[in-house]
Structure 1
Amino acid sequence: MMRVRLDNEDCQVALGRRLGRALGGHGRVYLEGELGAGKTTLTRGVLRAHGHEGAVKSPTYTLVEPYEIGGKRLYHFDLYRLGDPEELEFIGGRDLFADDALCIVEWPSRGAGWLPEPDLCITLSLSDPGRTASLEAFSDLGRSVLMTLSQEMGEDDEIIEQEREKQ
């Protein structure tokens, strides 16, 4: 597990960029946290890492926003308004979670029992100042991403500070 202190929105986007590069365009990242914790802001950084420069809004009513960037498929899910996990079947969710796609899921607990296991789960929480992100790996890909992030974020990092915890 890794915890990262994010003092402001720029720090959240910077972490998202690093996360996006480390993922390499595939995987399943689940974002937990209360309303306003910055799940969509972090997602914006991930998309920026892949070259997306347009607006990034939470797909609260459409459930998923697809992005095709540089030949890579990225899907941003927001399950906050999901009535039943089976609704994901009706929108073609199984096809969207293909191994070669990057899927970022806000409010994954709403899809419990239907969603595949994540590679990485990130819990964002409000702190003073800013936010705290707790990152936990659930696969080899997730562990590789955490290792890459850990190596990138040294003590001299001016944007993001981290606390390492032993698993």
Structure 2
Amino acid sequence: MKEFFLENEEFTKKLGQKIGSSLFPGAVVCLNGDLGAGKTTMTKSIAQMLGIEEDITSPTFTIVNEYMDGNIPLYHFDVYRIGSSEEMYEIGFEEYIDSKGICIIEWSNIIEDILPKDRLELLITYENEGRMARLTPYGDIYEKIVEEVEI
């Protein structure tokens, strides 16, 4: 585990860019934390590092947005309104997770029971005048990513 204090949005973007530059086809990034803490900003920064030029928006009502114009496909989930993990199977969650794209899942704690064993979890919470970001790796490849992240 590694923690970073994010003074402002620029620090959030820098952290997202560092993470994004280390991701690989099939990577899974789980974003949790306070409402409005920067999960979508983090996703935008990761997408930028993947060469995605489309405007990244939170897929609150569609559950998943697909971005195919970058170096690696990006599947951006927002499961805030999911009632149960079973609903994820209806949208083909397994196909996304087993693909060569990168999956970013906002509010992943809601579907924790169906997340892959190997993944990177990022918790963003408000702290003082900024935010605290905690990276928790699950699996060797994610441990290496976390070790190398500095902002």
Q: TM-score range by the shorter chain?
A: over 0.9
Find the counterpart in structure 1 of residue 18 from structure 2: 18
Find the counterpart in structure 2 of residue 34 from structure 1: 34
Q: Deviations over 1:114-151 (max 9, x none)?
A: 232342111101112221100011111211111221xx
Give SS of 2:68's match. Answer: strand
Q: How high is the sequence identity, in percent, across the aligned residues? A: 35
TM-score, normalised by the number of residues in structure 2 = 0.93
Find the counterpart in structure 2 of residue 47 from structure 1: 47
* CA RMSD after TM alignment: 1.5
Q: Deviations over 1:11-43 (max 9, x none)?
A: 111111110101134311111101111111111
Task: Give the 3 Å change call, closer, same or farther, for CA 70–44 of structure 1 in structure 2.
Answer: closer
Find the counterpart in structure 1 of residue 105 from structure 2: 105
Give SS of 2:52's match. Answer: coil
Find the counterpart in structure 1 of residue 96 from structure 2: 96
Within 5 Å, give how 1:36-75 maps onto structure 2.
Answer: 36-75=36-75
Find the counterpart in structure 1 of residue 85 from structure 2: 85
Instruction: Tell me the number of residue pairs that the alignment of Structure 1 and Structure 2 aligns.
Output: 151
TM-score, normalised by the number of residues in structure 1 = 0.84
Task: Give the 3 Å change call, closer, same or farther, for CA 25–48 of structure 1 in structure 2.
Answer: farther
d(CA) in 2 for partners of 1:20, 1:131: 19
Give SS of 1:103's match. Answer: strand
Find the counterpart in structure 2 of residue 117 from structure 1: 117
Name segments (4+ residues, structure 1) moved above 6 Å. Answer: none
d(CA) in 2 for partners of 1:126, 1:25: 31
Any unmatched runs of 5+ in structure 2?
none
Counterpart contact for 2:79–2:108, Cα < 8 Å: yes
